């Protein structure tokens, strides 16, 4: 009946009996917290679906016990199972989590969360008046909307900043790759002017020269693009937990970047090859 592993590192929250209903967190099994779940009653908890599956696979966790301190207790009884949600993690992957009654685990610094059908800013003064009426000595530290909290320094701001920096670095890297590919391929083809002159002198047509140069250039670039896409795919999977609403193997990104590199390489092959075919074969042979 006791968890085989102590969930000491699993985050939790202390909530009021109406919290789950207010925040629209579904209760899958068991019961919600009651007013009778007070300081003098046996400790209880509501775990989310992921935690229930992790510690009690193929079992009903309601009625089971776990401890946050040691294998000898004190133990907390599970009275319900709630649906998974988004907690303190940027990753959208399911995370184990559980709730404790506020009356059994009181701390002085608390957050009051309100769901409203009107603009949140329009009820700030009303909320402050109600709080001061119920507890005149209770200080109000900060009032922010969920949107402000999520976008702030304690929310996604640092991650958005890191994503912006990564995007800029990626754009610079792509630019350098394009310039590098074009320069190397163009230089390689331009050095074959003597060879192209000989081919033209022995009867090769302009189309034959262009096909030969493009085929050889694209074979080399194609191998490099494939190797780069495989490396990018492996790296993307390594940071998959930091990606939101984007697949680690996003086909649009991989196809567009690969196609761009190939187009640049094709242009780098065609332009100098076309110039070489317009040179008089005698001149190409004479100055090679």
**Which pLDDT tens digit goes with each residue over 82-133?**
998 877 655 566 788 999 998 888 776 677 777 788 888 788 888 888 888 8
> Distance between CA 288 and CA 283 in Å, rounded?
8
Question: How much is the average pLDDT of 151-164?
Answer: 74
> Distance between CA 254 and CA 228 in Å, rounded?
10
φ and ψ at 231, to 5 degrees?
A: -65, -40
Question: How much is the average pLDDT of 192-212?
Answer: 78
Q: Which of 52-61, 149-158, 194-203 has the highest mean pLDDT?
A: 52-61
pLDDT (tens digit per residue) in 168-181:
988 898 888 888 87
Question: How much is the average pLDDT of 246-255?
Answer: 77
Contact 64, 78 (CB under 8 A): yes
Q: For residue 147, is it left (φ>0), alpha (ψ between -120 and 50) or beta?
A: alpha
- Within the chain, residue ranges assigned H as helices are 19-22, 49-55, 124-134, 146-151, 157-190, 193-201, 206-238, 251-277, 281-286
3 state DSSP class of 98: strand
Contact 106, 48 (CB under 8 A): no
| DSSP designation for 2 | B
3 state DSSP class of 45: strand
pLDDT of residue 100: 92
pLDDT of residue 32: 93
Question: How much is the average pLDDT of 260-276?
Answer: 79
Residues 6+ apart with CB under 8 A from 86: 92
Q: How confident is the model at residue 49 (pLDDT cuts 50, 70, 90)?
A: very high
pLDDT of residue 148: 76
When mean pLDDT is compared across 2-11, 165-174, 246-255, 256-265, the lowest value belongs to: 2-11
Cα–Cα distance list, 128 to 108, 136, 150, 213 (Å)? 18, 10, 22, 75
3 state DSSP class of 79: strand
Residue 63, token pair as written in the block:
């009625």
Query: Is the pLDDT score of 1 beyond 50?
Result: no
> Distance between CA 13 and CA 98 in Å, rounded?
7
> Distance between CA 119 and CA 229 in Å, rounded?
46
198 or 32, greater pLDDT: 32
pLDDT (tens digit per residue) in 91-100:
566 788 999 9
């Amino acid at each position: 009946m006791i968890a085989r592993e102590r969930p000491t590192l699993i985050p939790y929250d202390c909530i009021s009996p109406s919290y789950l209903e207010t925040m629209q967190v579904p209760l899958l099994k068991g019961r919600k917290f009651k007013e009778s779940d007070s300081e003098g009653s046996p400790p209880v908890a509501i775990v989310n679906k992921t935690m229930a599956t992790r510690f009690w696979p193929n079992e009903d966790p309601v009625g089971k016990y776990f401890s946050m301190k040691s294998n000898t207790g004190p133990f907390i009884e599970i009275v319900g199972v709630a649906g998974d949600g988004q907690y303190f993690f940027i990753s959208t992957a399911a995370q184990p989590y559980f709730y404790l009654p506020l009356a059994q685990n009181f701390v002085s610094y608390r957050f009051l969360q309100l769901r409203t059908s009107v603009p949140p800013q329009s009820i700030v003064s009303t909320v402050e008046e109600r709080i001061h009426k119920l507890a005149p000595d209770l200080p109000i530290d900060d009032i922010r909307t969920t949107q402000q909290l999520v976008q702030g320094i304690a929310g996604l701001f640092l991650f958005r900043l890191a994503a912006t920096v990564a995007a800029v670095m990626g754009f610079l890297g792509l630019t350098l790759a394009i310039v590098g590919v074009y320069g190397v391929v163009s230089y390689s083809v331009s050095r074959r002017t003597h060879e192209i002159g000989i081919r033209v002198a022995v009867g090769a047509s302009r189309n034959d020269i262009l096909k030969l140069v493009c085929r050889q250039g694209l074979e080399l670039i194609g191998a490099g693009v494939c190797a780069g896409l495989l490396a990018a795919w492996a790296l993307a999977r390594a940071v998959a937990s930091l990606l939101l609403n984007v697949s680690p193997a996003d086909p649009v990104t991989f196809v567009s970047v690969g196609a761009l590199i190939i187009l640049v390489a094709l242009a780098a092959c065609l332009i100098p090859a076309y110039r070489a075919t317009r040179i008089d074969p005698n001149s190409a042979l004479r100055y090679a």
